[in-house]
């Protein structure tokens, strides 16, 4: 998940402070890794939950002022740096903590998926959406029937985009909607297949988007058992088929034989075909749909040609040469009369733009460039020196590379931070734990990181020379 910019900025600030030697030795690698990912614009669900809990635990530290002056260059408190690394600005922790808390709640208590949604739009109208497989997610028609009681006598707009589902669940919904006192109008937004097409017959008028589909077929079932069990299932399916054909017959006025033939053939209908057959009453404009609906998907050359078609349609006509049209497969032949081309009337050419000449002293420009270049080199070298001293890194090669490439200090910092400071370590005998002692030579003190120097002084340490 991509966190907000203020969390990304805080994590980057924490890594920068860490690279400069602040933050202490108590920070775990897990915290540093999480900060690096946050700084790059990515945070996992696990880290969101941990950040929420961490921020709550350490809020008292900020409130008590234990980590004051987190941007103090002399000594940012270790807790303040840790807050930055967790994406929480210690100077203004509220927004980040609120975001982590909200996302953590969603992750730990996700809303239960459902195949329907019922909303009272006003005192007079309600909307019912069936946009999934009926009976999926372990939610039965009973939940639907219980919730639709809250609609009262409002007029229902039933919107359908479903591949079908459980027959008996669907029949219960169909019967309930047919009896609804406020009336039901149906809008097929994408697909009404199988049992969803039966439910669509519960209202009037039935409207289909011009690019929607409707499908009717015979019910099916699975059986494990002996021959008697199989015959019993077959008999039951025949009876169920009669219930379904009745719904189609009432809507279309077709005979049982006509509907039966369509179901036997598993008939798919476009909006126009459905209206011609009496399954729908009106056709509306095309609705934007994804390339896949349920288990139906555009695949292979069909999907690729649709993408190419979109490219052509979205390109202005005057800038679309004929050779940019999608290539037609060899198996298909289209005969198109040659278009009549009329040359455009001659236009008066626009006057040339006014030319503005800028002059400058070449020596002055060279001098300014030299100053800027010297400053860039000095900035990179100085920052690299702080980091190398704090972490015992050898940054000679990256410094040389970045200076030679003309890249900025900000780019150099980003490179060092995002690469986890994986530079070649220096061989040194310096014992950084010496900061916990009472005395130390000035030479040894100068070899310590800024953090350990501060710790040594805060603990009352004294230099021996």
**Mind telling me the catalytic residues?**
194, 217
CA distances from 167 to 118, 334, 365, 390 (A): 21, 44, 81, 70
**Helix (H, G, I), strand (E, B), or coil: what is residue 191?**
strand
Spatial distance between the Cα atoms of 190 and 211, rounded to a whole number of angstroms: 7
H/E element, 172: helix 167-178
Query: Which residue, 410, 418, 419, is CA-closest to 383?
Result: 410
The DSSP symbol for 25 reads S
Q: Helix %, strand %, coil % for the chain, to 5?
A: 50, 10, 40
Contact present, 119 and 131 (Cβ < 8 Å): no
Spatial distance between the Cα atoms of 334 and 112, rounded to a whole number of angstroms: 51
Strands 184-193 and 213-216: parallel
Contacts 24+ apart (CB under 8 A), 425-432: 425/392, 425/393, 425/394, 426/388, 426/392, 426/393, 426/394, 428/392, 430/392, 432/25
H/E element, 231: helix 227-252
Query: Which residue, 94, 23, 102, is CA-closest to 59?
Result: 94
């Amino acid at each position: 998940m991509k966190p907000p910019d203020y969390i990304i900025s805080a994590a980057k600030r924490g890594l920068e402070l860490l690279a400069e030697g602040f933050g202490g030795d108590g920070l775990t690698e897990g915290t540093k890794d999480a900060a690096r990912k946050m700084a790059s614009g990515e945070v996992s669900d696990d880290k969101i939950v941990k950040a929420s809990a961490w921020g709550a635990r350490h809020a008292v530290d900020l409130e008590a002022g234990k980590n004051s002056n987190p941007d103090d260059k002399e000594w940012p408190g270790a807790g303040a740096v840790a807050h930055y690394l967790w994406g929480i600005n210690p100077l203004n922790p509220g927004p980040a903590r609120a975001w982590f808390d909200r996302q953590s709640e969603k992750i730990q208590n996700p809303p239960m998926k459902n195949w329907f949604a019922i909303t009272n739009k006003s005192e007079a109208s309600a909307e019912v959406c069936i946009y999934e497989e009926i009976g999926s997610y372990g939610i039965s028609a009973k939940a639907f029937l219980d919730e639709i009681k809250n609609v009262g006598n409002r007029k229902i707009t039933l919107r359908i985009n479903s591949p079908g589902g459980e027959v008996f669940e669907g029949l219960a919904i169909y019967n309930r909607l047919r009896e609804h006192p406020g009336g039901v109008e149906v809008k097929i937004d994408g697909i009404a297949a199988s049992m969803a097409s039966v439910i669509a017959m519960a209202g009037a008028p039935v409207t289909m988007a011009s690019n929607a589909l409707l499908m009717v077929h015979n019910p099916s079932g699975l059986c494990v058992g002996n021959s008697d069990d199989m015959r019993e299932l077959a008999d039951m399916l025949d009876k169920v088929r009669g219930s379904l054909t009745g719904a189609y017959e009432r809507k279309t006025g077709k005979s049982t034989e006509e509907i039966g033939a369509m179901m036997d053939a598993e008939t798919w209908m476009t909006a126009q075909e459905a209206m011609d057959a009496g399954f729908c009453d009106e056709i509306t404009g095309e609705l934007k749909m994804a390339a896949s609906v349920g288990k139906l998907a555009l695949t292979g050359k069909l999907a690729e040609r649709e993408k190419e078609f979109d490219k052509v349609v979205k390109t202005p006509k005057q800038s679309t040469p004929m050779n940019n049209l999608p290539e037609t497969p060899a198996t298909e032949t289209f005969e198109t009369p040659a278009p009549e081309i009329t040359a455009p009337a001659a236009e008066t050419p626009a006057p040339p733009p006014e030319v503005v000449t800028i002059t400058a002293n070449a020596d002055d420009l060279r001098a300014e460039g030299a100053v800027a270049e010297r400053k860039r080199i000095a900035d990179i070298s100085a920052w690299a020196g702080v980091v190398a001293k704090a972490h015992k890194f050898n940054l000679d090669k990256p410094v040389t590379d970045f200076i030679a490439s003309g890249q900025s200090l900000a780019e150099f910092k980003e490179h060092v931070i995002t690469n986890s400071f994986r530079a070649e370590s220096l061989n040194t005998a310096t014992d950084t734990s010496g900061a916990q002692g009472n005395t130390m030579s000035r030479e040894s003190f100068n070899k310590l990181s800024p953090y350990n120097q501060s710790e040594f002084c805060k603990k009352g340490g004294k230099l021996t020379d």
